[in-house]
Amino acid sequence: MSLTETNLLEVAKKQYFSKFGSYSNLLWALMVVQVLAVLSSLGGNGMSSTGGQGINLQITRYSSSLIVMCTMFWAIISGIICTTTAYKNLDFTYVSSRLSSDISSIGFLLTAGFAAGVMSSLSGVLLRVIIFFTVGSQSIALGYFFPPPQDLLTGILSTTLYVILMSAIGYFVGTLTQVSRGFVILLPLVFIIAVRLPGVGAEIINTFVKESSLLWFAVKVIAATAMLCCGAMLLSNRLEVRR
Amino acid sequence: MRTLIIPVLLFVLALLVFLMRRGAFPTINIMNTNSLNWVLRVYTAVLLSSVVVLYMLPKQDFAASTTYLDQFTGIYEAGKAGKLGSTNGVYAKGNWSFEFSGSQLKISSEYPNALIFVQRKDSDDGKLDLIDYVTSSTFDGIDYTDKIKPPKVALVRDELIVKSPGPYQVDYVKFDKDFAAAQFSDESSSQPGSGFLSGEALVLRIPKNLTIDNPQKIVQFVGE
């Protein structure tokens, strides 16, 4: 390992730890988003009803899907925010390069993504506890109220992987918009066209959402995240050290 | 409220991005880092303790959730054979007993959901005994048989009147896996809206020599 590489890693490490202070607003935003998602989930995520013989039966369905979706949304926005000039400039309080800044930002996003995934799944548990004390056990279906620990763990892992993937997408998109402002208009257009048109867009999404093996899903997410991060670092290197 | 949350979140986050792009956010200190750390610690502690609280909650008294229905569709056959009381998947929801000294009983029903079976006793004991039976009922994987109300029954002079229990509301809460966890689950959760409505029958046991007036032709005699 050369002296330059050692310095790069040391600087990246210092920047990584300093980001938990300087980027703390993102963690604050995560908490606010999750609390809002839990509050909005209190009304239920769906409803089904039936009637007959005088009875009008109504079932309010709950899940932590909204919390997971909001956390994923937070992740993509956080990824973009980490590439903004204002946030990048915080890195240059150290003698650093684009590469060390990228490594530390990606490290921060991975760590925050892991924390967000865990917190997202645990928010679903908090939702259950709140519903128990507000509705009462007699009106709650036992079924999936107590998720088995292995299901809770699967939920934590899969949510964490989704959140990390969203962070990487956000970071890549953010870096693209730093390279050229034209991408701010171009990327949403490409996204809308890809989603609307059957073919490549749907294929890419289905690669992740239709995967039923957690192991393969993890492999795909890690590979995609690595590609997006490497892509972002390569693009970032094209930018001047401080614009 | 729920339908508004996504647009509101989008608006708040778009506003945040706009502020970030303007470079305003790093200088905005909602709280100092120390206070923020404390709030995050408290939030994390609440989340972690909710796991402990959840698994310590008593598991009794929850609504029965089932993927298997103790289904019994032959309520008519069991009623005709006089075996409703001893048939699996059939539950008694109510019973009534009336003193009756007349020689003729008129039966009228404003509750067409329930079949009415009449069974003669071996003796003239001067009593009308009525039992309401229902079969298992599920909806969205929830067994709500316990919540079914029996009909209203009244003996007015020489007439036994059966009425609907009237409209009543039963509410349940059900938790599903979130999509991220459900993706890797082999179990298929119950389809919303799937279920079985209860079958219902009343068994009226009458004194041996009582005559039944059955103008609505709603009564089935057991063993006759």
pTM for the structure as a whole: 0.79
Kindly determine whether residue A57 and residue B172, on different chains, have CB atoms separated by under 8 Å. yes
Residue B30 sits at the chain A interface (C-beta within 8 Å): yes
CA A38 – CA A42 distance, rounded (Å) = 6
Return the minimum-mean-pLDDT range out of A233-237, B93-97, B161-165, B183-187. B183-187
Query: What is chain A's pLDDT, residue by residue, as a tens digit (243 residues)?
Result: 454 555 778 888 888 888 877 787 888 889 989 998 998 898 888 888 888 778 888 999 999 999 999 999 999 999 998 888 777 777 666 666 778 888 989 999 999 999 999 999 999 999 999 999 988 888 898 888 999 999 999 999 999 999 999 999 999 999 988 888 788 788 888 877 777 777 777 788 888 988 989 999 999 999 999 999 999 999 888 765 544
Kindly determine whether residue B61 and residue A159, on different chains, have CB atoms separated by under 8 Å. no
Interface of B with A in 44-63 (CB under 8 A): 44, 46-48, 50-51, 53-55, 57-63
A33 CB-near residues (< 8 Å, 6+ apart): A70, A71, A73, A74, B9, B13
- The neighbour count for residue B102, using CB atoms within 10 Å, is 13
Which residue is closest to B152 within chain A, CA to CA? A54
Over 70: is that where the pLDDT of B215 sits?
Answer: yes
CA A34 – CA A116 distance, rounded (Å) = 9
Chain A: closest CA distance from residue B40 (Å): 7
Chain B: closest CA distance from residue A20 (Å): 9
CA B50 – CA A122 distance, rounded (Å) = 8
The number of helices, as runs of H, and strands, as runs of E, in chain A is 9, 2
Residue B126's SS3 state is coil
Kindly determine whether residue A43 and residue B50, on different chains, have CB atoms separated by under 8 Å. no
DSSP string, B181-221: HHTT-SSPPPPTT-EEPPPEEEEEEE-TT-EEE-TT--EEE
Over 80: is that where the pLDDT of B68 sits?
Answer: no
Strands A55-62 and B168-175: parallel
This model of the complex carries an ipTM of: 0.82
Kindly determine whether residue A86 and residue B178, on different chains, have CB atoms separated by under 8 Å. no
Write down how long chain A is. Answer: 243
Measured CA to CA in angstroms, residue A50 lies from A10, A61, B144, B204 at distances of 63, 14, 12, 30
Look over chain B and give the mean of its residue pLDDT values, rounded to a whole number. Answer: 80
Measured CA to CA in angstroms, residue B184 lies from A161, A207, B179 at distances of 13, 14, 9
Interface of A with B in 76-115 (CB under 8 A): 77, 80-81, 84-87, 90
What pLDDT score does B80 carry? 84
Chain B: closest CA distance from residue A62 (Å): 5
CA B112 – CA A88 distance, rounded (Å) = 74
Secondary structure of chain B: what % helix, strand, coil (to 5)?
A: 30, 30, 40
Confidence of residue B1 (pLDDT cuts 50, 70, 90): very low
What pLDDT score does B22 carry? 58
CA B118 – CA A204 distance, rounded (Å) = 66
What pLDDT score does A227 carry? 95
